[in-house]
Amino acid sequence: MLNPRNELEETFFGQSLKRESFELIKEWHKFLCIQKNYSNHTVKNYFHDLKAFFLFLNHYLGVPIAKRDLQELTIKDFRAYLAQQALKNIGARSNQRMLSCLRSFYRYLKKHHQIDNQAIFRISSPRLTQTLPRPLKQTDALEMMQTTVEENQERWMNLRDQALFILLYGAGLRLSEALALTLQDMMSQPQSLMIKGKGKKERLIPLHPEVIEKVSDYIEVHPQKFEPKSPLFIGQQGAQLNPGVAQRQMRRLRILLGLSDTITPHSLRHSFATHLLASGADLRSIQELLGHSSLSTTQKYTEITNDSLLEIYKKTHPSAQN
């Protein structure tokens, strides 16, 4: 975690900021670390982007940046920064993360300091080249399970998103299967989950303790927790969560973490299968957990390197033990 009195002093105050602007930055840093509980990696990325932006502003405006400047920046000013990024051949994904950082900063300024500048929200995010879906790296998947986006209006929504995504990754559920769950489904068998999948096929999935913990934390603050037949995942109005909302939250989360635009809720199910296989699980068992009728379908769900396969072979095949 950045130390506000040391690294922040060096990073920002040395860049000719007005003291009042520096204080805003310190407060936002504390907000992200403590209230939002963002990972060190995410905070570091955000402040790298913010530092670059303020360096540009210092040269562009030619004056120490004051609160008033933050209020009065125009679309033209933000586009000038994007133009500079283009001259430096900064990629679309990095620019997308930078815009996410600035929007987050300005949402904080509006909510906590009445500095309302909508110009940044009228800048379109750069389009990213579409590529084939791929599973996450295990480190990225674990960080995603610990991170929430800040657009939610209520704390229970943050816990809802974490519970949903950890079920997709930790239990290999389809998004439609997770959204169809009720509170009763989760509470009737705390250590496992009975899923009714495609073709009304049922399968029993054991739940990892961390999955149970995250879902339990969410149920504790669920607005309808005393109504067993209520959907487990609900929207702001209390109805079953719309898949589009889950996809939007995933999109915001992957931007926040600087992940590939191919990462979707369904990617978490792919990652579940791939990471199990990489850890030595057999395809038949993974097939049962995913609810696939055909083993060939399961094979398509898994991506694993030759090195990983060789490692599994060495650990498990009798001829490799000699």
174 is catalytic: yes
Active site residue 59: no
Q: Is 29 a catalytic residue?
A: no
Q: Looking at 29, 36, 275, 292, which residue is catalytic?
A: 292
Tokens 């889950």 -> residue: 246
Q: Is 284 helix (H, G, I), strand (E, B) or coil?
A: helix
Is 301 annotated as catalytic? yes
Quote the distance between the C-alpha of residue 191 and its chain's center: 26
Q: Which residues pair with 240 in a beta bridge?
A: 234
Residue 188: both structure tokens together: 């009737």
Task: Identify which of 208, 234, 204, 237 has the alpha carbon closest to the alpha carbon of residue 222.
Answer: 234
Q: Could you give the CA distance from residue 22 to residue 94 in angstroms, rounded to a whole number? A: 24
Q: Which one of 107, 174, 196, 225 is the catalytic residue?
A: 174
Task: Fill in the DSSP letter of residue 17.
Answer: B
Q: Which is catalytic among the residues 29, 97, 160, 269? A: 269
Q: 222 an active-site residue?
A: no
- Active-site residue 198, yes or no? yes
166-183: b (≥16 Cβ within 10 Å) or e:
bbbbbbbbbbebbbbbbb
At residue 31, the 3 state secondary structure works out as helix
CA 77 to chain centre: 29
- Out of 30, 198, 248, 284, pick the active-site residue: 198
- DSSP secondary structure code for residue 32 in this structure: I
Tokens of 185: 């489904």
Angle at 170 between CA 233 and CA 285, to 5 degrees: 125
Residues recognised as catalytic: 174, 198, 266, 269, 292, 301
